Amino acid sequence: SVPAGSKHITLLHTNDMHARAVANGGDMGFAKLAGIFDSYRTENPNTLVLDAGDAVHGTTFATLMNGSSVVDVMNLMGYDAMTPGNHEFNYGTDRLLALTESMNFPVLSANVKDKEDNLLFDPYVIKEIDGVKIGIFGLTTPETAYKTHPKNVENVVFTDPAEEAQAIVDKLEEETDIIIALGHLGLDESSVDTSAKVAEEVEGIDIFIDGHSHTVLEEGLKADNGTLIVSTGEYTQHVGVVDIWVNEGKIVDREAKLLNAEAAEAIKPNEAVEAKVAAILEEQKEILAEEVGEAAVHLEGAREKVRAGETNLGNLLADALLFVTKADVAMTNGGGIRDSINEGVITKGEVITVLPFGNQIVTLKVKGADIKAALENGVTDYPNPRGAFPQVGGMSFKIDPSAEAGKRVHSILIGGKPLDEKAEYTLATNDFMAAGGDEYLMFGQYPQAGMFGSLDEALITYIQELGTADPKVEGRITEAPAP
Ligand code: ATP
Ligand code: ZN
């Protein structure tokens, strides 16, 4: 039990919603989330609603409007603050700053700067609730520098989260009672700057609301120095609830839990949000429903598959690149393929869902040796999935998983002939890779030889040409010991 006169404050939080606007399986959708927020606010007016990033990108609901649809809905949902995640940058930094302008709540990040060292967002906000001063500051994963198209973050510098956090906490400690970090850092082993690292290195963060790794923490995670880290997984599947009780400026008790669709079954969706989402979907319907052709088979775009091996959808897309460019070879990163397409009618909406980044196709005149180096880059983690994994057309190659990274690729054939390291080939790829994304740095050095419209348009054109797409996994990429 807490001392009499303690103030009860509720923090509701979301992360990695990835524009899952409507209820679908475990995804609750925005209207339901808003209903949950309403019910908590009714019960306890001392409630704050916070989002830890990756909200405005990920489905056609968002991408068709470059994120503004999600912003409109989040305004209605009554968020109090958010921090930008890496995916917030997918429409470019200028677009993100414009979206930020239209948000009714602050967008916070203490470690995103321009090259002149100016912060691009407010680093923190102080909210006074029932006499309790709460400092909330934002942090964005430095991985954004290479997890979005380089042109999206051309003039942006992501500085050290722990260092920036320390400086802010030192300042907020004098002005506030409670300090909350709102971070899109994650808890993945593959990440350097995790929330756990910041919590460990920075003294004085009470609650760390995290996102990025899509981690589900049912009751939060307590760091050694007392910081409570919370995170809700992904795709509107949970709302995080942190109840805190404050007495004389100190937290005397706290409790974290998650609500999922089942737990929130009795809560009604917010009607205004439901109506707004429906109106936006109605506007988009016609564009998305347009039929572009048929799939004779399931077109495989699942994350673990396209990032770890040849798939029929990877082949179809690579062939579409060859079809529109007439290049010798095509390479496109598995991480750029974001969904599968079911057998049957293929709609434009499905194609945009597979390819939501609006990438352009470019051709480069590349040395054979760099094609080899690029393939090596793509398979460094093989058989583990990696965004860089190449889906290819016009060529085949073999991987020796027992060889060390950098020496795994062999038996490369281009147009049926062994790759000549000294020869020059015309390569079709996407502008993300051509700019050195996913560590395809060898491509970054070549000037663009040609530009051919967007990837999604190319796939649509190619499917229209085929009428019925029936791509196979045909052994373009196989595993074999090096000769
Ligand atoms: P989360 O979705 O929670 O942020 P994440 O973004 O860190 O996770 P991924 O979903 O793996 O992780 O996304 C990163 C990968 O997406 C990159 O490695 C790359 O393969 C792909 N990617 C990102 N932006 C682009 C782009 N503009 N074009 C093509 N591929 C891209
Ligand atoms: Zn995410």
Convert the pLDDT of each residue in 104-151 to its tens digit.
Answer: 999 999 999 999 999 999 999 999 999 999 999 999 999 999 888 888
Give dist(CA 34, CA 277) in Å, integer: 12
358: confidence class by pLDDT, cuts 50, 70, 90: confident
Query: Are residue 193 and residue 296 in the same domain, yes or no?
Result: no
Q: Is residue 189 part of a domain?
A: yes
Query: Are residue 164 and residue 242 in the same domain, yes or no?
Result: yes
For range 437-461, the mean pLDDT: 91
Beta pairing partners, 8: 245
CATH of the domain at 475: 3.90.780.10
The bound ligand whose nearest atom lies closest to the alpha carbon of 235 is: 2
User: Rounded to 5 degrees, what are φ and ψ at 289?
Assistant: -80, -10
Q: Is residue 390 part of a domain?
A: yes
pLDDT (tens digit, 9 = 90+) per residue, 296-348?
999 999 999 999 999 999 999 999 999 999 999 999 999 999 999 999 999 99
Please give the number of the atom of ligand 1 that sits closest to the Cα of 234: 3
Residue to mutate (ligand 1; options 51, 147, 185, 432; most atoms within 8 A of CB): 147
* Average pLDDT score over the chain: 96
Residue 453 scores a pLDDT above 90: no
Looking at residue 195, its pLDDT comes to: 98
Query: Are residue 229 and residue 268 in the same domain, yes or no?
Result: yes
Looking at residue 108, its pLDDT comes to: 98
CA of 419 to the centre of ligand 1 (A): 30
Contact 317, 460 (CB under 8 A): no
Query: Are residue 256 and residue 380 in the same domain, yes or no?
Result: no
CATH of the domain at 71: 3.60.21.10
* Final residue before a domain boundary, out of 284, 319, 354: 284
Token pair 């209605």 in the structure block, residue: 76
pLDDT (tens digit, 9 = 90+) per residue, 21-58?
999 999 999 999 999 999 999 999 999 999 999 999 98
Percent of the chain scoring above 90 in pLDDT: 93
Looking at residue 150, its pLDDT comes to: 84
Looking at residue 148, its pLDDT comes to: 86
For range 90-109, the mean pLDDT: 97
Alpha carbon nearest to ligand 1 atom 11, residue: 387
Query: Are residue 214 and residue 246 in the same domain, yes or no?
Result: yes
Percent of the chain scoring above 70 in pLDDT: 100
Domain range for 81 is: 7-284
Query: Are residue 337 and residue 455 in the same domain, yes or no?
Result: yes
Residue 349 scores a pLDDT above 90: yes
Alpha carbon nearest to ligand 1 atom 23, residue: 148
- Ligand 1, CB cutoff 6 Å, lining residues: 16, 54, 86-87, 147-149, 212, 214, 333, 335-336, 357, 359, 387, 430, 432, 438
419: confidence class by pLDDT, cuts 50, 70, 90: very high
Looking at residue 429, its pLDDT comes to: 98
pLDDT (tens digit, 9 = 90+) per residue, 252-273?
999 999 999 999 999 999 999 9
Residue 180 scores a pLDDT above 90: yes
Q: Which pair of structure tokens corresponds to residue 224?
A: 């050694």
The count of structural domains within the chain is 2
Burial of 197 (0-12, 13-18, 19+ CB in 10 A): middle
Burial of 244 (0-12, 13-18, 19+ CB in 10 A): buried
Question: CA angle at residue 62 from 58 to 65, to 5 degrees?
Answer: 140
* Final residue before a domain boundary, out of 284, 305, 327: 284
In this prediction the pTM is 0.84
Q: Is residue 1 part of a domain?
A: no
Query: Are residue 238 and residue 332 in the same domain, yes or no?
Result: no
Q: Is residue 2 part of a domain?
A: no
Please give the number of the atom of ligand 1 that sits closest to the Cα of 213: 3
Query: Are residue 271 and residue 375 in the same domain, yes or no?
Result: no
Query: Are residue 68 and residue 198 in the same domain, yes or no?
Result: yes
Query: Are residue 238 and residue 347 in the same domain, yes or no?
Result: no
* Final residue before a domain boundary, out of 265, 284, 303: 284
370: confidence class by pLDDT, cuts 50, 70, 90: very high
For range 352-380, the mean pLDDT: 95
Contacts of 468 (CB under 8 A, 6+ apart): 293, 294, 295, 296
Identify the weakest region by mean pLDDT among 13-22, 106-115, 195-204, 442-451.
Answer: 442-451
Query: Are residue 91 and residue 108 in the same domain, yes or no?
Result: yes
Alpha carbon nearest to ligand 1 atom 16, residue: 335
Query: Are residue 245 and residue 371 in the same domain, yes or no?
Result: no
